[in-house]
């Protein structure tokens, strides 16, 4: 991309001087061109994801502790039921907001050789006010459930946890009432060793059109203009985790992918549940379609299930399965 813009050597020099080249240079090569034809297994996964998004964002719809309390409770009950239906015992972490209960739900596959080192995959199940939240974040929850199903009774070296979080959206965003903040604090209080955390945040919308992707300045100089990729985003303290995640995804899934480990002050870098884990000193990465930088229906009533590209979402989930497995394997992940 740098050379296509011209002056690639100069740009690399500037990035090197600022330390940014190290932040955006990722291992492997992003897939370009046509996607491989879908096979039967991919089609089945797409149907699975479609059904879960429809249940959460279609049947239940807006789910918010203040604007849609009953539907928030309905969503919580649905998620707990789905996790239990897989066969997991579900750990329920209850806490109160304005005197009313809220819940995080966690399931676990105990590690075989490094059980005290934990890889957390999480997604928030609440929606913003006045939106059914199909992409934000029923797409992330559907992916979380799909991964939980595929890792059931499938131990890796490290312990795997799949967690559905409450209250990521305003007015709880970046407060003590954010579900992931409650959960990450409890992990730290219990001296748990979180080796890696993946936050699945708004991952279902893709657009091949030129200039469909926007960025905070100056990153439009260094990334594609078409919003057809999945992004792995972390802060500088999580740079190694970003690179390992991107490397694993690119090794296994022929789908466009980008990565960046940027200062937390850059707009959008900390806009999800991974931020809560940073506050406790844990490495964490957001996996995203970049939300407001691409999706025209972000936080709108039009964020409905028909907006999701289920074929491409399925490809991302298939790649994420390999990312989770790699991070949970002894030779790939590093304990903190």
Q: Buried b vs exposed e over 299-336: b needs ≥16 C-beta within 10 Å?
A: bbeebbbebbbbbbbbbbbbbbbebbbbbbbeebbeee
Contact 119, 195 (CB under 8 A): yes
What value does the mean pLDDT of the chain take? 93
Note the pLDDT of residue 2.
Answer: 30
pLDDT digits (tens, 9 = 90+) for 147-200: 999 999 999 999 999 999 999 999 999 999 999 999 999 999 999 999 999 999
Q: How far apart are CA 31 and CA 217, in angstroms?
A: 24
Q: Tell whether the torsion through CA atoms of 205, 129, 302 and 300 is positive or negative.
A: negative
CA angle 302, 38, 53 (to 5 degrees): 30
Q: Dig out the tokens for 270 from the structure.
A: 């900390």
327: its two tokens: 């991070």
Global pTM value:
0.94
- The rounded distance, in Å, linking the Cα atoms of 156 and 3 is 41
Report the C-alpha gap between 155 and 158 in whole angstroms.
8
User: 297-323 pLDDT, tens per residue?
Assistant: 999 999 999 999 999 999 999 999 999
Residues 319-336 have pLDDT tens digits of: 999 999 999 999 754 444
Please determine, for residue 13, whether its predicted confidence score (pLDDT) is greater than 80.
no
């Amino acid at each position: 991309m740098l050379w296509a813009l011209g002056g690639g050597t100069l740009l690399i020099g500037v990035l090197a001087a600022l330390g940014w080249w190290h932040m955006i240079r990722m291992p492997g090569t992003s897939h370009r061109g046509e996607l491989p034809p879908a096979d039967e297994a991919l089609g089945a996964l797409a149907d699975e994801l479609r059904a879960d998004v429809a249940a959460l964002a279609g049947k239940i719809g807006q789910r918010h502790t203040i604007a849609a309390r009953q539907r928030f409770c309905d969503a919580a009950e649905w998620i707990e039921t789905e996790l239990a239906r897989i066969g997991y015992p579900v750990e329920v972490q209850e806490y109160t907001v304005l005197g009313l209960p809220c819940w995080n739900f966690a399931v676990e596959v105990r590690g075989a050789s490094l059980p005290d080192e934990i890889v957390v995959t999480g997604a928030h199940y609440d929606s913003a006010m006045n939106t059914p939240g199909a992409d934000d974040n029923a797409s992330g929850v559907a992916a979380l459930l799909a991964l939980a199903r595929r890792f059931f009774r499938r131990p890796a070296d490290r312990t795997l946890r799949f967690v559905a979080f409450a209250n990521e959206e305003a007015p709880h965003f970046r407060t003590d009432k954010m579900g992931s903040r409650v959960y990450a604090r409890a992990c730290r209080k219990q001296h748990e060793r979180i080796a890696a955390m993946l936050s699945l945040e708004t991952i279902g919308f893709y657009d091949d059109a030129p200039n469909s992707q926007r960025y905070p300045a100056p990153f439009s100089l260094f990334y594609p203009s078409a919003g057809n990729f999945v992004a792995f985003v972390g802060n500088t303290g999580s740079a190694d985790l970003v690179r390992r995640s991107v490397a694993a995804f690119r090794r296994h899934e022929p789908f466009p992918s980008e990565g960046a480990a940027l200062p937390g002050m850059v707009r959008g870098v900390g806009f999800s549940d991974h931020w809560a884990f940073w506050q406790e000193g844990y490495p964490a990465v957001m996996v995203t379609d970049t939300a407001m930088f691409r999706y025209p229906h972000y936080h709108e009533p039009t964020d409905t299930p028909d907006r999701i590209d289920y074929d491409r979402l399925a490809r991302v989930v298939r790649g994420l399965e390999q990312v989770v497995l790699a991070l949970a394997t002894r030779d790939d992940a590093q304990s903190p």
